[in-house]
A = this chain, B = another copy of it.
Amino acid sequence: MSVTIKDVARMANVSVASVSRALNGHSGVTAETQKRIREVAARLRYVPHNAARSLITRRTQTIGALLPDLHGAFFSELIRGIDLAARARGLYLLVSSSHGDATEAAIALRAMQGRVDGLLVMSPHADEAFLDENLPLVLPTVLINSHVRSERHAALDLDDFGGAYAMTEHLLSLGRKRIAFINGPEVNHDVQERCRGYREAMAKAGLADRAVVLPGDFTEESGYHAGKQALAMVPRPDAIFAANDMMAIGCLSALSEAQVRTPADIAVAGFDDIPMARYVSPPLSTVRVRIAELGESALERLVRMIEAPDDAPPEPRTVVGTELVVRASCGGSDTVRRRA
């Protein structure tokens, strides 16, 4: 069938041990024989059988990624970041996404065993009990953007809180006092943090009593409704901060429909910086999430865990920064401000 190390050994008149040493660049083989072996291997198009290698090495050179069913941009950016960082280290990426329920996720997770050296987990189903049940203790794992707060797992989060805080502060700095917030699905961890950031910034400005949170569910439509609701309020808000861009865009429609000027009458801001944000009218101020960087950092962290000796101290929970993207919809001058 396919060519094995034995074939190479036979053709080069050496033992399999020498072939292994030569090809892996180990010492104990003369430069001359190494060259000969290399040539034979190339001529035969020998490629080591990875399964056999990892059986003995206990390394698969592969990391697994357990992901939820994400909407387009976020998903691809995250994978891109992870993949980029992985290939830089000669690692492969085994992905499994979009499992509907916890059972499916569990199956996927278990089947990863013996197939990967480490795991990146970002899943709404992955609560603490789930992890305890399905994660072998020995497998290095990094939780991405998870609500699990256990000390036992490494975790990496988006700075939802900081981003929302910064945007709220920015709106306040522009003289807006009555800032309304459009919430997302309450079960969502990111949403909670964004809302918290908004509330704290308001509180710090002594405007806690003016904070008002309108319901939403991340869809454009819910943003539209929230916009209508805001317009009906007395006194009317002078700014609306939505927990994501799609809702902010829906809100913009509601305002323009009501002949309310943005940003003159009401400023609008979103969160995520989806590609569409700069094309709506007026272009949307938002908080940019550096998703690819989130993926990269997660992978790097994971690699450190894999390579670290068992007694290495666990690293603290880490946070990946956001950027404030100021466009016309909030009345500031266009800038991008990076935040650690």
Contacts and interface: CB of A to CB of B under 8 A. Distances in A.
A95 interface: yes
A330 to B, nearest CB: 19
B49 A114 contact: yes
Interface size class of chain A, counting residues whose CB lies under 8 Å from the partner chain: 35 or more
Please give the count of copies of this chain that the complex contains: 2
The A interface is mostly helix, strand or loop, or mixed, namely mixed
B280 A114 contact: no
Contacts of A47: 110, 113-114, 136
B79 A97 contact: yes
Nearest to A52: B55
Interface stretch (A26-34, A86-94, A221-229): A86-94
A249 interface: yes
A234 interface: no
B111 A83 contact: no
B92 A93 contact: no
Interface in A255-289: 275-276, 279-281
Interface stretch (A68-76, A147-155, A205-213, A312-320): A68-76
Contacts of A84: 98
A72 B76 contact: yes
